[in-house]
Amino acid sequence: MNRPLALECRGIWKKYALRLVLGMRYAMADISRELIGIKPQQARLRPGEFWALQDVSLSIAQGQCVGLTGGNGSGKSTLLKLLAGILMPDGGWIRRRGRLASLVEVSAGFHPMLTGRENCFVLGAILGISRRALRAVLDDVVAFAELEPWIDMPIKHYSTGMTVRLGIALALQAAPDILLLDEVLAVADPVFRRKSLAAISDSQQRHGMACLIVTHHADELTGMADAMVHMQGGLLATSAPAPVAGTDGGTR
C-alpha cells in the first residue's frame, strides 16, 4: 500500500546572478515590473545569470528517508532552501503536507549573544514549539544535546559542533512531519551523529516523519535511507535504492 506523500516538488528551476550587484539590479527590476502588473521573465536567463537548479522533481512519502548527495555547487543546499520555503523557485511547484523543521545552516535561528537556554526558546518558536511546551521538555533537549554544563553560556562561545547538537535536539523535539537536514551532522562527532540518526529513525517509525538528509557520506545512511538521490550541475543525476549493509551501493 502506497504511503501518502509528505513532500513533493515538480519541475523546479532556480537561477542566480554571478555578481551581487547584478542580482540586486535584476531583483529591483522584477519588483518594479510586478508593481505595474508585468510578470517577470522567470523562464529565461539574463546576462550574468546561471541555473542553480534545472527541472528538479522529487517526492518523499510519510515515514520515508531520502539521502541527497553531490559535490560542492551541485545545487543541494539550494534545493533544501526551496523545499523549506526559505527561497522561492523561478519555475515549478512545491507541496508540503504537515509541519516542517529544517536545519540548512549550522547557526540558523541562533543569536550569538543569547545563551543556549535563551536560544532554545528562539529556535523553538521558529520550529513551532510553544514556550509552555518547551519548558516541559527543555531538560530532555539539553540532555540529548549533552550540553548541561554550557546551556547558560552565550552561543558565541559554543563550538560549531555544540551549536549543531542544540539545533538537532530541538528539531527532533519539535516532532515535525518533515525534517530537512543540510550537512549539519557532518560537523558533529561520530558518536552524536549515530545517536541523532537513531533518533531520526525512531521518529520515522513511530510518527511517520519524512526526512531528507544531505550528506557526503552515503554509507552513514545505510539501513536507514529508503533511497539515495545524487545531484550534479543543478540536475538530479541519479536516483537509486539506498546502500545495503555490506555493499558499496552508496552514491557519492
Q: Going residue by residue through the chain (252 aa), what tens digit of pLDDT does each one get?
A: 578 899 999 999 999 999 888 888 888 887 887 788 777 667 788 899 999 999 999 999 999 999 999 988 899 999 999 999 989 999 999 999 999 988 887 666 788 999 999 999 998 888 888 899 899 999 999 999 999 999 999 999 999 889 989 998 998 888 889 999 988 777 778 888 889 888 988 888 888 899 999 988 778 787 788 899 999 999 988 766 665 544 344 333
Please give the backbone phi and psi of residue 147, each rounded to the nearest 5 degrees, phi first: -120, 20
Calculate the CA 31 to chain-centre distance: 28
Question: Residue 121's pLDDT is what?
Answer: 92
CA distances from 68 to 45, 84, 112, 130 (A): 27, 15, 30, 31
The rounded radius of gyration (Å) of the Cα atoms in the chain is 19
pLDDT of residue 39: 74
Q: What is the distance between the alpha carbons of residues 181 and 184, in angstroms, rounded to a whole number?
A: 6
Give the chain's length. 252
On the CB side of 174, CA atoms within 13 Å amount to 28
Q: What is the CATH code of the structural domain delimited by 60-241?
A: 3.40.50.300
Give the orientation angle of helix 116-126 with respect to helix 160-173, to 10 degrees: 50
Cβ-proximal residues to 98 (8 Å cutoff; 6+ apart), any chain: 6, 176, 177, 178
pLDDT reported for residue 248: 41
Measured distance CA(241)–CA(122) in Å, rounded: 38
Cα four-point dihedral sign 124, 163, 213, 1: negative
Domain edges within the chain: 60-241
Amino acid at 165: R
pLDDT of residue 249: 40
Instruction: Give the residue among 94, 87, 105, 72 at the shortest CA–CA distance from 180.
Output: 105
Closest Cα to residue 16, out of 40, 36, 39, 46?
46
